[in-house]
Amino acid sequence: MLYDDNLLFSKTKKKKKAATNTYKFKEGTKCYFAGCNLPIIAHHIVFKSSCNKEIVEQEGLMLPVCNHPHHLQSKELSIHGNYEINRVIQVKAQMQWMIRENKTEDDFRKIFGMNFMIYELQARESRWWNEIVFNIQNKRV
């Protein structure tokens, strides 16, 4: 705790600012889940803590979602609230990236710090496997 001689109580630490989502999708991009025109944010498919956020954005590994809590936090149909949906999206995104770049699982791991293909069997057995269809964003040059 930090103390000030003039105060009888401790100073509180300043809160860290929340990370901002600065990636901009093309005009008219709709939410993947709702298809709505609400403000769209980029869901980074690869965890930002695993690698540099700019690399994820440059490689197009993001999914457009609206900022509605239903699509970010609900238990049924969301990225953060439904583990199965998140895994299916991660596996399919890695597969698409490897095909587009003609690269291997090891290449993906070296660049992004993770390999989602270890979850492929689990993702394919999910009820969401055939329902989740998307294309990763084009690579930025």
Structural domain including 96 reads 40-125
Instruction: Output the pLDDT for position 21.
Output: 62
- The total number of structural domains that make up the chain: 1
Average pLDDT, the chain: 80
Pick from 22-36, 71-85, 97-111, 126-140 the range whose average pLDDT is largest.
97-111
- Residue 60 resides in a domain: yes
- Residue 133 resides in a domain: no
* Cβ count within 10 A of residue 59: 23
**7-48 residue pLDDT tens:** 454 445 555 455 556 678 888 888 888 888 888 888 888 876
Report residue 118's pLDDT band, with 50, 70 and 90 as the boundaries.
Answer: very high
- Residue 45 resides in a domain: yes
Instruction: Output the pLDDT for position 115.
Output: 95
- Residue 58 resides in a domain: yes
Alpha-carbon separation of residue 24 from 16, 29, 34, 47, 52 (angstroms):
24, 10, 18, 18, 17
Rounded Cα gap, residues 100 and 107, in angstroms? 13
- Residue 79 resides in a domain: yes
Structure token digits, residue 90: 């991660």
| Lowest mean per-residue pLDDT among 15-29, 47-61, 101-115 | 15-29
Cβ burial of 16 (10 Å; 0-12, 13-18, 19+) is exposed
Rounded Cα gap, residues 112 and 114, in angstroms? 6
